[in-house]
Structure formats: C-alpha cells, structure tokens
Amino acid sequence: MKYNSQSMKKEKIELDPECKSHIRGVRDTIYLLDGKWKTIIISHLYYTGKMRFMDLKRQIDGIAAKTLSKELKVLEMNNLVKRTQNNTMPVTVDYELTEFGKSLQGIIDTMGEWGIKYRKELLQNE
C-alpha cells in the first residue's frame, strides 16, 4: 500500500495579522532577553537603580565578571542599559536602565509575581 505524502501532511493553521504580529513580538522579546543572566541583570537594575559593576556582580549570585561584562555589553547595544564611565581614579563605571529598559517593568513585575506563586505552589505540594 502506498501513501500519498501530501495527504499525510497536516495543514498549517493560518493566523490573522494581529496574532502573527503578537507572536513575532514574543519571539523578539525572548531573543532579546535570551540566556540565564539578562533578565536577572535587568531586574537588579530595575529594583536598585544605578549600580557600579562590582556592586552589581556582588548582588548577582554565581555570575562571573567576564559573563556580566559580556551581558552588559549586549544589553547596552540593545539600548536597555546605559553605561557611564566616571572621571575617578581608578576609573569607575555605572550601569542603569535606559528609559527603554525601564519599559520592561511590566514584564519584570509579572515574572516576579508568577515566580512567587509558582514557588508557593511547589512548596504546598511537597
């Protein structure tokens, strides 16, 4: 018995332009905040405000200086974090969220609230 490969394929569900745009936005957000550290860095800067590099490193458990530096560069390149080099000896650098970075407030708050509920749910079921 032979199978027609075309008859075996399922049709792709066609989404309206608004749904496609929303899904593309979700994909772009995930791409921008990809990885283990970016959202954590943004959260710390969101809740504490401007921070020096070493203060930020001390706040984030388990992050290596090289990783923090790399992630901050990516966040700066994407206009989420502003880097300010101070005229001090030795040179110090401050990091803070840009206005665009601050616009992630709703996402950070929602993630935090959901994470608190999730942790309670897990502990309740043990």
What percent of the chain clears pLDDT 90, i.e. is strictly above it? 66
| pLDDT, mean over the chain | 90
- Cβ-based burial of 71 (10 A; exposed 0-12, middle 13-18, buried ≥19): buried
SS3 label, residue 126:
coil
The one-letter amino acid at 102? K
What local confidence, expressed as pLDDT, does residue 106 receive?
A: 93
